[in-house]
Structure 1
Amino acid sequence: MTAGEARQAFEAAYDREPTAVASAPGRVNLVGGHTDYNGGLVLPMAIDRRTAVAAAPRDDDRFRLRSTDVEGRVVVDGLPDEPLGSEDEAWANYPLGVLVELAREGLFESRGLDLLVAGDVPRGAGLSSSAALEVATAAAAYAVDSPTHELPRRALAEAAWRAETGFVGLDCGIMDQYASACCRTGEVLFLDCRSRETRGVRFGDREYRVVVVDTRVEHELASSAYNDRVRECAEAVEQFDALLGGVESLRDVDRDALVAHAASLPGVLRRRTRHVVTENERVRAAVDALEAEDVGAVGDCMFESHASLRDDYEVSCVELDTVVELAWETAGVVGARMTGGGFGGSVVALVRSDAVEDFRAHVDTEYTERAGVDVEPRTFVCSPAEGVRLE
């Protein structure tokens, strides 16, 4: 178990027991791709792959960080004002950034900490391993200082998000951190990224399972293209604000406005806006379908979402498209789409329980040849899991 592994590794590394151990999950996103940083709607689900952080306080203002996945350790005296520059230490910027934000908000007393990370959320798979690390760090550090208090999930999610966007310096929306902090067992999270309002939606149909196919591919274009999409959406907001007034994000643009003014937009901005507008509609439709126990309609939203991400948002790749095609061909798979930022990573599929092995076999047999790659994908079944918790 991840938490037990973290506890044992902490004792071996620091020759004492941790004061607190917290774990937080990775996530998939059933519908709502690239809408979070546009103030839109998302429908993520925490998965039963977790990152655990064990921690104990110090009194010398020294911070020592270790990970079971990385050789050596990172040691800093005092919380840094800027990210560590060494490539070997880059992983530590995520937990350090969280500690900086918690201290700034008065949720953690900065006096030093020993910290150890262990987990089984695949890195680089589009499953938000970084958010899981951030949220678990936030919870462990908070528990070190406030062991009798209930975890303030939203405050921890916000601190984790600020750490990634501010300290680490990566543009991202709030979905990943909120999913890792606020999801509940057996539910997906309906999140309004503008208002921060959340609602759990029951996902308890035993006839269907969530299957993740990790392509184990990440194209170099991923980081730069993500930033390009953020910039393009900001440009679209400027144009719509000039046309309509009062437009602060693409969330403020509806289908009628898009249709009325599409001709005045450059083709790229028209496609980006069309994706965001229709994706928000698909999230609402998927929530309605889940509440009506219409799993087939949820799957339709997923297939449509992938097509929009591929054609209008242009963040897919041949590997992701191949897995979605294989899902479409398999009887019993009702929906599939890329999850994460795109250009590699994973596909999430909604599969009838008795078709899971057929889908896995179809992927294993056909994927490498049809995608033109020699890297075998990883496939695993997951369940809607609990968000951050103390262990």
Structure 2
Amino acid sequence: MSETLIHEAARRFTATFGDLPAGTVFVPGRVNLIGEHVDYNDGLVLPMTVREGTAVSWARADHAHISIRAADLGESDHFASSEPPRPHDTSWRSYVRGMVAELGLPADAGVDMLVHGNLPRGSGLSSSASFCVALGRALNDALGLGLDAISLAKAAQRTEHEWAGVACGIMDQVAVAAGNAGRALLLDCRDLAMQQFALPPDWAVAIVDSGVTRGLVDGEYNSRREQCEKAARKLGLASLRDADRGSLDNANLSALEYKRALHVVDEITRVRRASEAIAASDLEAMTCVLREGHVSLRDLFEVSVPLVDRLVEAVDDILKERGAARMTGAGFGGSIVVVLERAALPELQQALDRPVRPVF
């Protein structure tokens, strides 16, 4: 799928700019197996890349501007790299200008770019992280900046914070910048230590879109982060990464703060359990982790919605002990992730009333 996207991006670049691109980069989206809303709490997460993503074709230009075409939107932008971005504007142009600002490009940098992607926005698959890191890779290659994957991921995160107004953690950006196909990435969001786990060959991972498009800048996402930070301060901790159930029980937390903090503490434990289940090829243990994780997101962190809950229940009813589903991403809609026996995938695809897209 990425080869098709790359080819099409290059073709559209030529049609737009009248010449062949000097290069094309591809950055996938990601699905998070477990570890939701813990990256901004310095926790552990377990994402993996998906097949869909963002391709950016590029070429150096003799003008001192960034000229970019968003092929899927039929829109363009043209600006000097020294031109200030537009803070907290959630349009695609703000992400472009934010990445240019965060990478600190030379004032006379001239690059033509065309963006073509197939990650649906609002599906919980990190379309914005894929977009930003792909832009970063294209500019890195075009201008010889010499930046590594983590540097690009951090620039993409700063763009989300400063120019889109989303106080996200680092998981999405590192996952799409450093993840490998078919492997789960155990990421420590405190020090960015990483370990890759090959998934058992008799397992499958699939994504099902709920059809509910979610947004992150309506205040709900940022408010969850604020609630976690307030709980950590009451506990006298730098972050909830250092909390445990005992410390929560002995702290003067409000009922809401307690629920949020309990989800974080238990979710970090679930990430460790999931990593062990993958290493041991223990699907039964993985199934338990996923089901517990969804209940926690629904009842303690309160980021699921009824349609997503019903979809998770439908998948679990079909699979029984052969796998499980949970919401993935920040919540309030988007997609669910399913980990299941590979042999059960055709039955799930037949029984469910919507597309089931295999990731692995």
- Per the normalisation by structure 2, the TM-score is 0.93
For the structure 1 residues 238 and 334, does the alpha-carbon distance in structure 2 shift closer, same or farther, using more than 3 Å as the test?
Answer: same
Q: Are 2:87 and 2:165, in contact at CA under 8 Å, matched by a contact in 1?
A: no
Q: Pick the aligned partner of 2:181 from 182, 185, 210.
A: 185
| SS across alignment from 2:20 | coil
Specify the alignment match of 1:381 in structure 2: 358
Q: Pick the aligned partner of 1:116 from 114, 119, 137.
A: 114
Specify the alignment match of 2:196 in structure 1: 200
Q: Are 1:126 and 1:339, in contact at CA under 8 Å, matched by a contact in 2?
A: yes
Shift of 1:86: 7.7
| SS across alignment from 1:33 | coil
Answer yes or no: is 1:38 the counterpart of 2:41. yes
Specify the alignment match of 1:294 in structure 2: 282
Q: Are 1:51 and 1:132, in contact at CA under 8 Å, matched by a contact in 2?
A: yes
For the structure 1 residues 176 and 252, does the alpha-carbon distance in structure 2 shift closer, same or farther, using more than 3 Å as the test?
Answer: same
Q: Are 2:81 and 2:100, in contact at CA under 8 Å, matched by a contact in 1?
A: no
- Identity between Structure 1 and Structure 2 (%): 36
Q: Which has the higher contact order (CA 8 A, sep 6+)?
A: 1
**Structure 2 stretches of 5 or more lacking a match?**
none
Deviations 1:53-110 (A, max 9, x none): 11112233212111121123112233432327888xx212212211221126xxx775
| SS across alignment from 1:360 | helix
What amino acid does structure 2 have at the position aligned with 1:13?
T
Answer yes or no: is 1:225 the counterpart of 2:220. yes
RMSD: 2.0
Deviations 1:169-199 (A, max 9, x none): 2110000000001111321110011111111
Shift of 1:255: 2.2
Alignment of 1:43-122 (within 5 A): 43-83=46-86, 90-103=91-104, 111-122=109-120
Shift of 1:146: 2.4
For the structure 1 residues 117 and 221, does the alpha-carbon distance in structure 2 shift closer, same or farther, using more than 3 Å as the test?
Answer: closer
Answer yes or no: is 1:169 the counterpart of 2:169. no
**Structure 1 stretches of 5 or more lacking a match?**
242-246, 365-376, 384-391
For the structure 1 residues 125 and 219, does the alpha-carbon distance in structure 2 shift closer, same or farther, using more than 3 Å as the test?
Answer: closer
For the structure 1 residues 162 and 222, does the alpha-carbon distance in structure 2 shift closer, same or farther, using more than 3 Å as the test?
Answer: closer
- Per the normalisation by structure 1, the TM-score is 0.86
Answer yes or no: is 1:343 the counterpart of 2:341. no
C-alpha distance in 1, partners of 2:17/2:182? 37
Specify the alignment match of 1:367 in structure 2: none
Shift of 1:122: 1.7
Deviations 1:97-133 (A, max 9, x none): 11221126xxx77512111111111211000011111
What amino acid does structure 1 have at the position aligned with 2:55?
A
C-alpha distance in 1, partners of 2:324/2:279? 17
| SS across alignment from 2:168 | coil
Misfit runs of 4+, over 4 Å:
84-87, 219-222
C-alpha distance in 2, partners of 1:223/1:302? 27
For the structure 1 residues 260 and 345, does the alpha-carbon distance in structure 2 shift closer, same or farther, using more than 3 Å as the test?
Answer: same
